[in-house]
């Protein structure tokens, strides 16, 4: 009988401890839930405070992120692997532009769809910048008034960075010092990139190259290379048999080791020319290297690809 009473008391004591433990666990869980909700709310508020910037191509996406940092939410319109020459906006991308404060474009006809998208977005507060405006453009390119691939010249890229910085300051003057400092830091990196490219190209044995389309015309002009021929003068329009034959003879005449293709376009014409001339196909990329795209890494990749054929 005594033993049973002891067991009952022990049970009741343990039961009391269990209730207290459960109560403590409940309180801790409740506090954690409140903290999580508060952090989530704060995170949402921070996200809402950011400036949404819609950007057309990946190089400009990287420039905008470098300058805007945590003050901006950058939305890329043209995803990796797609060409701006054949891009067709989607409904979700139209919604992105409709809620953005800034739309960053290259210009020179690259974003041929831009005006229709801007009008359809019904965003009267949208600031639109065309980062190529004011630069000297290569006019002899059949792309609606000029060659738009200015970002592949790092010195022209610096100009684009400045334009983006000015737009962000315009829409967010409180962050002006932040944007100025970020831009200054990144411009120094582009200066170093320019010096690196000059040094590496100085070792090239060959200066002529065959490109897929005129993406690297500004790059060639900046660094003393010669774009001897372009396979597709109009992006998306395959060359005629006569044009292919002309390029094959040209490749043979100066002993080109490679034909440069691009991952955003079908490589069949480049492969035909390479097979007939004894050259090989090497890929240049004018737009981006996913998933963690960085413009400076892209430019170093392209230099390494050129070195395979021109050293």
Position 94 confidence tier, pLDDT thresholds 50, 70, 90: very high
> Are the C-beta atoms of residues 50 and 75 closer than 8 Å to each other?
no
Position 16 confidence tier, pLDDT thresholds 50, 70, 90: very low
Distance (Å, rounded) from C-alpha 112 to C-alpha 116? 9
Residue 9 has pLDDT above 70, yes or no: no
**pLDDT value of position 236:** 73
Task: Report the CATH architecture of 203-310.
Answer: 3-Layer(aba) Sandwich (3.40)
Residue 83 has pLDDT above 90, yes or no: no
**pLDDT value of position 57:** 95
| Residue 4 in tokens | 């049973």
Please state, rounded to an integer, the average pLDDT across all residues of the chain.
Answer: 85
Summarize the confidence of residues 201-209 as an average pLDDT: 95
Same fold, 50-197 and 203-310: yes
More confident residue, 143 or 241: 241
Strand 208-211 relative to strand 51-55: parallel, antiparallel, unpaired? unpaired
Q: Where are the alpha helices (DSSP H) in 69-175?
A: 91-99, 114-121, 154-171
More confident residue, 139 or 127: 127
Q: In whole angstroms, how far apart are CA 157 and each of 174, 181, 299?
A: 25, 17, 11
pLDDT tens-digit readout, 275-298: 999 999 999 999 987 777 899 999
Cβ within 8 Å of residue 217, ≥6 positions away: 138, 141, 147, 149, 211, 227
Q: Where are the alpha helices (DSSP H) in 78-212?
A: 91-99, 114-121, 154-171, 176-201
Position 42 confidence tier, pLDDT thresholds 50, 70, 90: very low
Asked if the peptide bond before residue 291 counts as cis, ω within 30 degrees of 0, the response is yes
Summarize the confidence of residues 100-112 as an average pLDDT: 95
As to burial, measured by CB atoms within 10 angstroms (0-12 exposed, 13-18 middle, 19+ buried), residue 69 is middle
Q: In whole angstroms, how far apart are CA 97 and each of 104, 126, 168, 257?
A: 10, 8, 16, 44
Summarize the confidence of residues 251-257 as an average pLDDT: 92
Distance (Å, rounded) from C-alpha 193 to C-alpha 176? 26
Which pTM does this prediction carry? Answer: 0.82
Percent of all residues in the chain with a pLDDT value above 90, rounded to a whole number: 70
What are the domain boundaries of the chain?
50-197, 203-310
CATH of 50-197, one of 3.20.20.100, 3.20.20.70, 3.40.50.880, 3.40.50.1980: 3.40.50.1980
Residue 304: CB atoms within 10 A of its CB come to: 10
pLDDT tens-digit readout, 149-171: 999 999 999 999 999 999 999 99
Q: In whole angstroms, how far apart are CA 208 and each of 144, 184, 250, 273?
A: 26, 35, 11, 16
DSSP 16: H
């Amino acid at each position: 009988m005594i033993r049973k009473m002891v067991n009952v008391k022990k049970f009741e004591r343990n039961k009391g401890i269990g209730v207290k433990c459960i109560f403590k666990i409940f309180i801790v869980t409740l506090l954690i839930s409140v903290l999580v909700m508060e952090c989530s709310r704060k995170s949402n508020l921070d996200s809402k405070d950011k400036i949404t910037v819609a950007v057309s191509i990946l190089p400009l996406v990287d420039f905008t992120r470098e300058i805007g940092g945590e003050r901006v939410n950058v939305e890329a319109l043209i995803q990796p692997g797609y060409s701006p020459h054949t891009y067709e906006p989607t409904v979700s991308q139209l919604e992105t532009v409709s809620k953005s404060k800034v739309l960053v474009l290259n210009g020179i006809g690259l974003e041929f769809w831009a005006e229709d998208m801007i009008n359809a977005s019904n965003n009267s507060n949208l600031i639109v910048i065309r980062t190529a405006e004011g630069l000297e453009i290569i006019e002899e390119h059949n792309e609606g008034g000029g060659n738009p691939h200015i970002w592949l010249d790092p010195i022209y890229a610096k100009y684009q960075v400045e334009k983006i910085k000015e737009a962000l300051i315009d829409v967010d003057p409180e962050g002006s010092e932040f944007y100025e400092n970020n831009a200054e830091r990144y411009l120094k990196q582009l200066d170093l990139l320019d010096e690196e490219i000059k040094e590496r190209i100085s070792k090239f044995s060959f200066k002529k190259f065959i490109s897929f389309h005129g993406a690297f015309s500004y790059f060639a002009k900046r660094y003393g290379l010669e774009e001897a021929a372009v396979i597709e003068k109009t992006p998306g329009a395959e060359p005629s048999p006569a044009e292919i034959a002309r390029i094959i003879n040209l490749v043979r005449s100066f002993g080109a080791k490679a034909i440069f293709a691009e991952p955003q376009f079908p490589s069949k014409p480049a492969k035909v020319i390479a097979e007939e001339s004894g050259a090989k196909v090497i890929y240049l990329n004018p737009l981006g290297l996913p998933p963690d795209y960085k413009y400076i890494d892209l430019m170093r990749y392209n230099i390494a690809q050129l070195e395979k054929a021109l050293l």
